[in-house]
Amino acid sequence: MIPIRDNQETQSQPVATYGILVITSLVFLWQVSVGLNNDAVFYIYGFVPGKYTIAELARHFTFMNKLLSPFSYIFFHGGFWHFIGNMWFLYIFGDNIEAHFGSARFIVFYLVCGLLSALFHFLLNFHSPVPTIGASGAIAGVMGAYFLLYPGSRILTLVPVLIFPIFIQIPAFVFLGIWFFLQFINAAGQGAGSNIAWWAHVGGFISGIILVSINKKLPSTGHREKIIRFTRKKHTPKLQVITPASRDFGPDLHGVIELTSVEALAGTRKVVTIPWGFYKPLYRVKVPPGIKRGTRLRLKGMGKSMPGQEKGDLFLTVEIKNAI
């Protein structure tokens, strides 16, 4: 299952998430320049349990290296697909968790999830001399937090059936529950002997859930509100999923289209998709400038077909976010 997007919109740009994506991408480009299979890079920057428990191995690393390895390993990856997969999951789920924590706390949350993920791996692989690298543990923490905070969110998911890609919307608690179950089964079963740190994924997911609970008890510092002033989104998503409903069992359908105050003032163009089973047609919608909240846009002939009646229309009620 490949997540395409979720329907849990945020009000501000996820600057911390984008920053992590940029830093990790720059690190990966440096890895490519020195060789992706560079063992020296893996041992220096990766998390190696044996650095702390095997005297013969430990003497090759400084105290500072041992201190930083549980954090540095999350910015390194073992290959292209490892890197792409992790960054895509961070892109899908990171913005909502950053919106919950605030940008500054999200950075701390991300690093602590990586640290606790490494600790979980360490406790179950006490004397392992094998380096662990990758952001999977930290991102598992992001997914654990999402599981707790937005269980009812819908994840648009690509499910390959034979050679046919099928797009379905799956509740977040189902998608993430299946993901966690697979990590646990692999960790406890045949996957335990592979080069993938499955227990780190499990530990990261649990850590994310715990850290959300701890964060709720911490007082606000006021920094979050200051950052939001500069990161507030000026545009809603170009593509919006509309779930229309009939109000009087007639041919006309009704839905909601979301705009920001900037888009309402200046006008914009959107693409909406209306799910009808596996068929999801796309429609272009032109929003005129100066439109007000509550205004209804009429899409002629895009309603229901009923016997003995003309095809109905689709009416989209304008909802304005970030109103000024």
| CATH code of the domain covering residue 250 | 2.60.260.20
pLDDT of residue 317: 92
Q: What is the sign, positive or negative, of the torsion defined by CA atoms of 176, 22, 196, 167?
A: positive
Does 138 lie in the same domain as 261?
no
Query: 69 pLDDT band (50/70/90 cuts)?
Result: very high
> How many domains are contained in the chain?
2
pLDDT tens profile 72-90: 999 999 999 999 999 999 9
Does 290 lie in the same domain as 143?
no
pLDDT of residue 225: 65
Does 197 lie in the same domain as 262?
no
* Res 287 pLDDT > 80: yes
Query: 219 pLDDT band (50/70/90 cuts)?
Result: confident
Residue 44 lies in domain: 2-230
Does 276 lie in the same domain as 258?
yes
| CATH code of the domain covering residue 166 | 1.20.1540.10
Taking all residues of the chain, what is their mean pLDDT, rounded to a whole number? 86
pLDDT (mean) for 289-307: 86
pLDDT of residue 194: 56
Does 283 lie in the same domain as 223?
no
Of 207, 230, 253, which residue sits at a domain end? 230
Does 6 lie in the same domain as 94?
yes
pLDDT of residue 126: 87
* Res 26 pLDDT > 60: yes
Does 123 lie in the same domain as 27?
yes
Does 298 lie in the same domain as 158?
no
* Res 248 pLDDT > 50: yes
pLDDT (mean) for 187-205: 77
pLDDT of residue 250: 82
Of 201, 230, 259, which residue sits at a domain end? 230
Does 194 lie in the same domain as 247?
no
pLDDT tens profile 137-191: 999 999 999 999 999 998 888 887 777 777 788 899 999 999 999 999 988 776 5
Query: 50 pLDDT band (50/70/90 cuts)?
Result: very high
* Res 312 pLDDT > 90: no
Of 206, 230, 254, which residue sits at a domain end? 230
Does 178 lie in the same domain as 72?
yes
pLDDT (mean) for 229-257: 77
Does 295 lie in the same domain as 256?
yes
* Res 192 pLDDT > 60: no
Does 239 lie in the same domain as 112?
no
pLDDT of residue 165: 73
Predicted TM-score of the model (pTM): 0.75
What is the token pair recorded at 41? 């890079």
Q: What angle do CA 197, 199, 204 make, to 5 degrees?
A: 100
pLDDT of residue 324: 46
